[in-house]
Every structure is written in C-alpha cells, then in structure tokens.
Amino acid sequence: MKFGKEFASQMVPEWQAAYMNYNSLKILLKQIQHLRQKNKQPDTPARLQRDLKLYRTFSGLMQRQNQRANSLNDQDIENEAILVNHVKGNGSAKYETAFLMTAEEGGECEQLFFRRLDNELNKVDKFFKSKVKEVVEEAQTLSKQMDAFIAFQIKVLKVPPRFDHVHPPSTETGSSPRMVAMNEYKGKPQSDDSIEDNDKHTNYISQDIQEENPKNLTSIRSASMNILNHVKLNEAIQTHFSSSKQTQLNFSKENLKKIEKQLKQAFIEFYQKLTLLKNYRFMNILSFSKIMKKYDKITSRRASRNYMRIVDNSYLGSFDEVTKLMERVEATFIKHFSNSNHSKGMNKLRPKPKKERHIISFCTGLFVGCTAALILALILIIHARNLLDKGGKAQYMETMFPLYSLFAFIVLHMLMYGANVYFWRRYRINYTFIFGFKQGTELGYREVLLLSFGFAALALASVISNLDMEMDPKTGDYKALTELIPLILVTLVIVILICPFNILYRSSRLFFLTSLFHCICAPLFKVKFQDFFLADQLTSQVQAIRSLQFYICYYGWGDYKIRQNTCKMSIVFNTFYFVVAVVPYLSRLLQCLRRLHEEKDPMQGYNGLKYLLTIVAVCTRTAYGLDKGIGWKMLAWICSAMAAIYGYYWDLVVDWGLLQRHSRNRWLRDKLLIPYKGVYFGAMVLNFMLRFAWLQTVLNFKVSLHRKTLIAIVASLEIIRRGIWNFFRLENEHLNNVGKFRAFKSVPLPFYYDEDEERDD
C-alpha cells in the first residue's frame, strides 16, 4: 500500500483537517517535476557516459572515497537550498523556510512548496500542542479523582494506620496511599514552555516519601484523608449522600463500586485518547519525512536533512511526554483496577481489534442462497397452484399476511442498516463513536447481513409451510400446531434477543435493549444520541408494531383455529390501534421535551412540534381508515400535508444540514463526504416522494392490489426512506464532530471538588 493511502487510513476521522495535507504537497511536487523535466538539458551521449564510467572505475578506491567525502561537504555548503527560521511573535512561534534558489528555473514553484510545507508544520504543531495541553489538564483531574478514590477506599475498607508501614509506596507503579502516579501534573495548567520541561520533573512524590522518616507516613495519610472534606459525589451517585448534610459522604461498598467503575471507564477513555495522540504525532512526522524525501528525489537537492532537523526540534518532534504519560496510566490502571495483573489490565486498556472471520462471509452467502431459493419456490408454488384465484385468498390476506409482514418489515430495516454500516465505513464516518459502541463490539455490515438473511430464510420457510395447511373438513378448524408457526418464530426471536448467555452478539443485544428501554421510559432518562436515533427508527415501524398487536389479538382470542379476523369488531382493539401508532412519536416528543428542559435549546421545541403534528396526522389517517367518512378524509389530508412538509424541511435543513444557499456547494453543505453532488440532490427528491407515500392511504388510488398489500408497500417505502435518512443524518453528525475535533466521548467522573473550600484551606 502506498504511503498516501496508509496515511489516510490511519487518520482519526474527526482530526482529519488537523493532519498534514500530504496529497496537496504531492501535487505541488508533481508540478515541480514537470517543470524540471520541461527545462532539463540534453543528456550526455550514452557512449560518453560509458567512457566516463570506465575512467571512474580505475580511479582508485581509497582516493575515490576521500574525494567523494570532500566533494559532498563542499556541495552541501555551496548547494544549501533552504534556511529554516523559528520566528516568535504575538505570543506564538512558527516556522518559516527561506528558499535560496528562487533564481533557478521553477524556483517560484519550489518556494510555494516550502511555504505550504511550513503552514502544514505550524498547523500540526499547534494542534498537537493544544491536544497535549488538554490531556495534561485531564491528567491533573484524574490525579485528583484518584486521590479522592484512594481515600474513599481506605475509609470504606477501614484500613488500619499500620497499612502504610506494611505496604510502602511503590516507585515502580507510581502509586501511594494518595495515588501519586501522575502527581507531577498537579497544580495550575502548565504553559507551553513548562510542558516542555516536564521530563525534568518526572520523579514521583512516592520517592520523596520513601526518603522521609517512616514516622511521617501517618501524617501524610491523614493529609490525604482530608481530601474527602473537599469533594462531593456527582449526580449519578447523589442519592447516597447523607440526609443530614450533603457534604458528608455515605461510605458504603455500593458507592465504592460505582466510583471504581466510573474511574475505570475514565482511565480507559483517557488511554485511548493518548494512544491516538501518539499515533497522530508519529504519522505526521513520518509524512514530513516522506514528502521531503520525494522533494530531494525530484530536485536532486539535499534539503530533507535540514528540514527534518527542524521538525525533530519542534514541539511535535521533541515532546514525547505523551508516551511517558501512557506508561504512568498503565501502571496506575494495573495497580488499582486490575489487581496488579498486567495482562488483564493491558487487555482492557488495549482491546484487540476485531478480526474478520471467513465463516461469517460463508454463512451469509449460504443464507442469501437459501433466501433466494425460498423466494423462487414461493413464487412457483403460488403460480402452480393458482392460489391467487382461489376463494381462500381474501381470508389468507386478512389473517396470515399481517402475521408474516412483520418479518418483512424487520428484515428490510436490518438490510437498510447493513447498507448504512457499509457506506458509513466506506466514507469514514465514525459511527461507532457517534453511537457510543464499546470498542470491538459493534456489528459490521457482514454480521448485520448474516442476521438479516438468516431471519429471512426462517420467515420464508414458515410462509411456505403455511401454504400447505388445509382445514379439517369435519371440524372446520385448522391444525393448531401448524397455525402456531408464526407465533413460534416471533417467540424464538424474542427469546434470542433477551438471552443472557454470551451467544449471538450479546453486547450488541444488550446495547439495543438498553436504548429501547430508554425510549419506552422517556423522559425519565437522559437522552443520548443512540436513544433518539432508535426512537426515530421506531417511528418508521408503526405497521410492524401494529402487527405485534394483531399477534396478541389473533392468538389470544383463538382466531388462529379458524383463520378469522374478528379483531376489528372489538372496541379495545380499535382503541389500541390508535395507541400503538402514537407511542413511537410520543416517545420521541418526550425526548425532545427532556432535551429542551436540560439544554435550553429552542430547536428541541421545534423538533417536538414536528412529532406533535405527526401524531395528529397519524390519528386522523387511522380514524379515516376505520370510518371512511368525508370529514375524516379532509382532516387527514390537511394534517398529513402539514406534518409531511414540516418533516421534509426538517430532514433537509436540520438533520442533513443541506439547503444552505451560500455554501461552497450551492444548496448543499460546505463539506461533503460523497464526491458526487448528484447523490445529495437525488436523496432530496427521493425523500420528498417517500415522505408523501401516505397520499395513497387518503386518496385511495384504484389499483388491483389488496388493501393489506398496499399498506405493506407504503410501510416498506417508509423504511427505505428511513434507511436513506440514516446515512445523511450520521454524515451531518460526523461533520459536526469534525468541526469541533470531538473524537472522544466525555465520561462523567465520580467526584467534583469544592474549589471555595480548597481556597479557604
């Protein structure tokens, strides 16, 4: 793989703009190469070159080496091409390269190359410096958190005073009764110059403690315990405060476990940030080295050595405290969160990358073949038996078709999600970070397709089995066991979904169930991206939820024995027919209200208005479907039109970030991940058409299809629209994160310090 592709693949997607622009510099080098080839002098004749080569061959080995060394030194002095200066001004320093060969042919192009190269170096150096400052400040915070945690742990476990004498602090792990693994970072945020001098102050306080008299250990331990007088627990553990005074903590083992869990996750996230920052530094230094070697090769100069000397002396090249900080984090994590088990601790800090297994591709292909064969078999059976012209067709469509359409909706949504994952990965959208997946547990598109086609094969097999069912001529009943096949399949899916054993992607199932629970219980939980994203998916699965309602009615009231649909005759069923259609939109509305209350963002109120209009539209269309009155038709038309227009505008402008009149890409965004602009305009048009698919349910177009079939088609079109919406919604979210260089999720810390009390002390 060429370095340019390798460099692009190693980039942190949210930091892409902060990396060295390797491709643009390569384009400049190609222009320089083209100019030099154009102005190149005629070559020496081949015979003359051969003769000169023969003379050089017999010139003497020792003499040749000495002459060559002297000539190289003279050439370096005479042919010095660049002079790099470190200019300080306006509180910041930057690098400027003076190109000394501007009088030569193509010199202006080379001067432009070094000007852009300096801009890239200054950009990368500034970004790296800012990120190092962030991690240093975060290290200070984590150090304080660990001080409080160790003191809290001593208090809960009731460690005797002799503990300090029995277990002296360890310089190897950098820990003490006060967790001093990162103590050199404590105090005020350091300036850029002081950060560079951190290598001189890496001795842990534990070393100083060991040099003191052992009698002083008790006083040090008492001082560390005083930290608890200045800390409080965060909101996640606030319920465990003492009822008398909030400043007094409840020292229970339950609280200790929660604090340890939060700090453990915070250390893992912090270590991941350090790892990516270290990789950022390495890849950028390597890219500068590569581009300068290309420059030397094209121009036959020796400028790379001088320029790389400046890169190595820059903040980017010389500051290696990130690596040392990683070592201290490893020591602290292994000591306090892995029971000094090195391999266990490192496995948590550095989870192994997910391996692509060939068995998944093989099984996916197998299920795809089975699905295609079953679809073909179903078509042939229907055609051979002429089932569409038989009298039982209407009965089948009213009873069995709603049961099996549930599987079709689920499979179609899973296929759309699999396609989303594929394109998210292809265009480097960091969906794992946006959703908050645990590293290494997210499902790839192969796994999603495997589950989709496996489920589709089971559903089609049950459909074909039900085509062979016949009524008992004596009793007029259908065979109960065979009629229960759809219910058995649904039960099997639910059992697998809630199965506690570590099979079939347990972590993904748990993640899905947790988000689903948050959606159902809205607005009781803080709304995260994965929660409202799942709630939006549920709004496109209204017909699937109604199919589940039909399952309860069909099998609960015994209609499956005679294949009759008596559900619509019940007032209870018709009432819940409204309720189940409103629940997903109501959940999403409550989430918007929760975010409006917490974030004070008026956009959440406008978003909630969109779902309120949709609830009214769904209710009026449902009432018209049950009543067929002209009044309900007009009301359904007006409400649905208002909701569709409002929702369409919201999709394009807010969720997709499009229709920006003054952007570089007219009517689109300034930044686009897909290089073909027509894709965005096509998605706009397609979204409009699919948004107004409800017109069929109101206008009652005369078509030869059964009403249940039309409802299923309209519901499938809504699922397809949602799948298209998913890609552009995450693309916009990803670009917002890129604009803020936000590549890590914020982990809540268990303690927060009372700064006022600390100042008084």
Query: pLDDT higher for 159 or 253?
Result: 253
Q: Is residue 758 part of a domain?
A: no
Q: How far apart are CA 636 and CA 642, in angstroms?
A: 10
pLDDT recorded at residue 303: 84
pLDDT recorded at residue 40: 65
533 band by pLDDT with thresholds 50, 70 and 90: very high
Determine contact, residues 403/547, Cβ cutoff 8 Å.
Answer: yes
Same-domain pairing of 733 and 595: yes
Same-domain pairing of 382 and 428: yes
Q: What is the pLDDT of residues 571-626, one digit of tens each?
A: 888 888 889 999 999 999 999 999 999 999 999 999 999 999 999 999 988 888 77
pLDDT recorded at residue 31: 87
559 band by pLDDT with thresholds 50, 70 and 90: confident
Same-domain pairing of 399 and 469: yes
160 band by pLDDT with thresholds 50, 70 and 90: low
Same-domain pairing of 128 and 275: yes
Q: Is residue 593 part of a domain?
A: yes
The 10 Å CB-count burial string (b at 16+, else e) for 584-619 is: bbbbbbbbbbbbbeeeeeeebeebbebbbbbbbbbb
Instruction: Show which of 350, 382, 406 is a domain's final residue.
Output: 350
Same-domain pairing of 544 and 402: yes
Q: Is residue 67 part of a domain?
A: no
Q: What domain count does the chain have?
A: 2
Amino acid at 10: Q
96 band by pLDDT with thresholds 50, 70 and 90: confident
Instruction: Show which of 350, 369, 396 is a domain's final residue.
Output: 350
Q: Is residue 750 part of a domain?
A: no
Same-domain pairing of 294 and 327: yes
Q: How far is CA 545 from CA 286, 537, 550, 576, 581, in A?
A: 54, 12, 9, 11, 7
Q: What is the extent of the structural domain holding 669?
A: 358-739
Q: What is the average pLDDT score of the chain? A: 80
Name 427's Cβ contacts closer than 8 Å, sequence gap at least 6: 673, 674, 731
The whole-number average pLDDT for the span 393-416 is: 90
Least-confidence region, from 110-114, 162-166, 255-259, 730-734: 162-166
pLDDT recorded at residue 205: 30
Q: Is residue 577 part of a domain?
A: yes
Same-domain pairing of 343 and 362: no
Phi, psi dihedral angles at 747 (to 5 degrees)? -100, 125
Same-domain pairing of 143 and 216: yes
Same-domain pairing of 275 and 424: no
Q: Is residue 233 part of a domain?
A: yes
Same-domain pairing of 297 and 375: no
The whole-number average pLDDT for the span 432-453 is: 90
Q: What is the pLDDT of residues 218-253, one digit of tens each?
A: 444 555 677 777 778 776 555 433 443 344 567 788
Q: What is the pLDDT of residues 628-666, one digit of tens each?
A: 778 888 888 899 899 999 999 999 999 999 998 888 898
Q: In a 3-state reduction of DSSP, which class is residue 510?
A: helix
Q: Work out the number of other CB atoms within 10 angstroms of the CB of residue 383.
A: 10
Same-domain pairing of 195 and 156: yes
**Residue 536 parent element (H or E):** helix 529-539
pLDDT recorded at residue 483: 80
349 band by pLDDT with thresholds 50, 70 and 90: confident
Q: Is residue 64 part of a domain?
A: no
Same-domain pairing of 449 and 383: yes
Q: Is residue 56 part of a domain?
A: no
**Residue 87 parent element (H or E):** strand 82-89
